[in-house]
Structure 1
């Protein structure tokens, strides 16, 4: 079981109080985008064994969306941050690279 802390209301609770919403930092494709780009946006997702940046919602709390950095193999949580940011904050990148020196932020896909 994951124990998460919402970065919006700062409540710490079990993962059952939250809802996972998929991969974070996706580049949204609008109606004027190319068909191939739109198909990729809808269906192509990373599914790494290791560090993954995800969207979560505090369903039974403040109701806000946020991003979470965690290791999918060990379930270690590196930190949570606002969904309005376009990249992981420096302190979360440092925490990840401390455990996974080979990890690099790839930017929006």
Structure 2
């Protein structure tokens, strides 16, 4: 079962790592298909992640949805030192206070 595809192979590799760390086995397909663009439609050459066990689909979809939400987070201000931090920071770069949930 196809669970995820994206034009950027780095994004696909990140999702693959998240799923693997959660114990979800996936297969990476179209890893080297970008050389076929022109003969293939660009979207047909995107790397794809396929689930080995379809019973893990719900868990995999939740992990992917959580990763997308975190990617949409905005910059934040530290509640302790008031320093502005980039969205990717999980802790304040100035005082190491964790991101406020």
Q: TM-score, normalised by structure 1?
A: 0.23
Looking at secondary structure, tell me which structure has more helix per residue.
2
Looking at secondary structure, tell me which structure has more strand per residue.
1
* Structure whose CA Rg is larger: 2
Q: TM-score, normalised by structure 2?
A: 0.25
